[in-house]
Amino acid sequence: MTENQYTDGNRAFLQAIMVRGAFTLSEGKSMLAAILSVQEEKRVDANEVSQEMFDSYIAAAADAVSCFEYEIHSTQHQVTKNRIYAFVNSVSDALTQIATVRTPDELLYIRRLIDAMFETNNTKRKEVMAIRSMQALESKIRKGTSEKSITQAEAEKLLTILEREKWLERSSEGFYSLAPRALIELRSWLVDTYNDSEDLDAWQKVKFCEACKEIVTVGERCSDLDCIIRLHNICEAAYWRSRPSRTCPKCKLEWKGGNFVGEKAVTSLEENLRQKGRGLKRTRPSQLDETSDDNDKEPEQGQEDVTPGSKRIARRESSPTSERHADLSLASDGDAEDD
C-alpha cells in the first residue's frame, strides 16, 4: 500500500488497535465500522464490514508498524473459539509490553504470578496453568523471597488492571490465567523460561496443541503422564475426524477423554469428590438401619458381639475427606516429586 492509499481511516484504525492492545473479530469490525461512518458521513454497521475489507485494514496496519518492530497477530480463544487479534512487540524482551507502565515491585509480582501458573500449578499430575484468585493474593506471591513486595490491596488493583488490559482472564470459578494477548506476546519467553529439555519428546511445562500448534493451557491430555500430546477442546472434534482411530498419535493409547488441562484438572476432581460425598450421605441411612436391626438381634451361640456398625461407617468415611484435602492442593508433595 502506497502512502496515498494509506488514508486517515487506516491511521485511525491503527490507533484504535494500539489503544486496545487486543480485540475480537467482532470488536474489530465494530471499530472499523465506526471509522467508516465518520469517513463516509453515513452510518455503517459492523455487519456491513466484510472479512475481506477487515483483513485489508489489518494488513495495512501491520505493514505500517513493522518497521517499528511491532506486529499484529491473531489466534483463536481456547474456550470461546473467537478470533483474537493482538498488537505485540516482535523483538524486545517479552515482558516489555506488560512492564511499560508498571513499577519494579509490580513487575516482580507479575513474574511470581506467572511462575505460580507454570511452575507451582503445573505438574505431571495436574497441568492447571492457572491460579485461584485467593492464591494470587497470598504473601508468598506478593512478597516472594525478596524485600520487594506489594500490599494485598495493590495486588487486587493490579489484577483488575491486567484483566482489563486483556493480559489475564478470570473464570467463573475464580481462576486467573494468561489471556490470548499474553499467550501471543509471551510465547517464546514462556518456552525459553519454563521448558528445560532439548528432548522434543520429554515432558515439558509448556506444550502445544497437536492440531493447531498453539500453546495449550485449556484442553485435554493423553492419559500417559509422560506423553506430551495435548489438544484444545475447540480443536478436538476436527482433529479426530481426520484420524483413522481415536488413539494418541505418539504413544498409541486409546484417547478416552476426561484428562483435563487447565482449571478443570482441579475443578473436575473437586466435583468427583463432592459426588462421592453425596453418595455416602445417601447410603448412610440404610446402612445404619441395617446395622440397627442387626444390633437388636441376640448373638447366636458362639458368635462374638461386635462394635456398633455406625462407628465402623464413620471410620470408613474419614478417608475421602482426608484425601480431598490432600488432592486439592494445586502443588502437592506428590506432584513435586513428578518434577
pLDDT tens per residue across span 253-263: 999 999 999 99
Distance, CA of 229 to CA of 270 (rounded, Å)? 25
Confidence bin at 1 (pLDDT 50/70/90): low
User: Is-contact 221 229, C-beta < 8 A?
Assistant: yes
pLDDT at position 336 over 60: no
CB atoms within 10 A of CB 164: 9
| pTM (2 d.p.) | 0.78
Confidence of residue 133 (pLDDT cuts 50, 70, 90): very high
Is residue 284 exposed (0-12), middle (13-18) or buried (19+ Cβ within 10 Å)? middle
57's torsion region: left (phi>0), alpha (psi -120 to 50) or beta? alpha
Other C-beta atoms closer than 10 Å to the C-beta of 87 total 23
Residue 90 has a pLDDT of: 81
Tell me, what DSSP letter sits at residue 199? Answer: -
Cβ 140 vs Cβ 119: under 8 Å:
no
Instruction: Work out the average pLDDT over 92-99.
Output: 64
**Phi, psi at 180, each rounded to 5°:** -50, -40
Instruction: Report pLDDT digits (tens) over 31-72.
Output: 999 999 999 999 999 999 999 999 999 999 999 999 998 999
User: 178 forms bridges with which residues in the sheet?
Assistant: 168
Output the CA–CA distances (angstroms, integers) from residue 272 to 31, 266, 281, 328, in the order listed: 44, 10, 14, 11
Lowest mean pLDDT among 23-37, 63-77, 311-325: 311-325
* pLDDT band, very low/low/confident/very high, at 322 (cuts 50, 70, 90): very low
pLDDT at 312: 38
Residue 190: predicted pLDDT: 94
Least confident of 91-105, 107-121, 283-297: 283-297
Q: Among 138-147, 153-162, 292-301, where is mean pLDDT lowest?
A: 292-301
Cα angle: 53, vertex 166, 205; to 5 degrees = 110
Cell matching residue 108: 516482580
**Do the Cβ atoms of 217 and 262 come closer than 8 Å?**
yes
Helix (H, G, I), strand (E, B) or coil at 254: strand
pLDDT at 325 over 90: no
pLDDT of residue 335: 45
Query: pLDDT above 90 covers what percent of the chain?
Result: 66
Q: What is the spatial order of strands in the sheet that 70-76 belongs to?
A: 22-24, 83-89, 70-76
Instruction: Using pLDDT thresholds of 50, 70 and 90, give the confidence band for residue 298.
Output: very low
DSSP code of residue 116:
I
Residues, the chain, total? 339
pLDDT at 200: 74
Contact 231, 248 (CB under 8 A): no
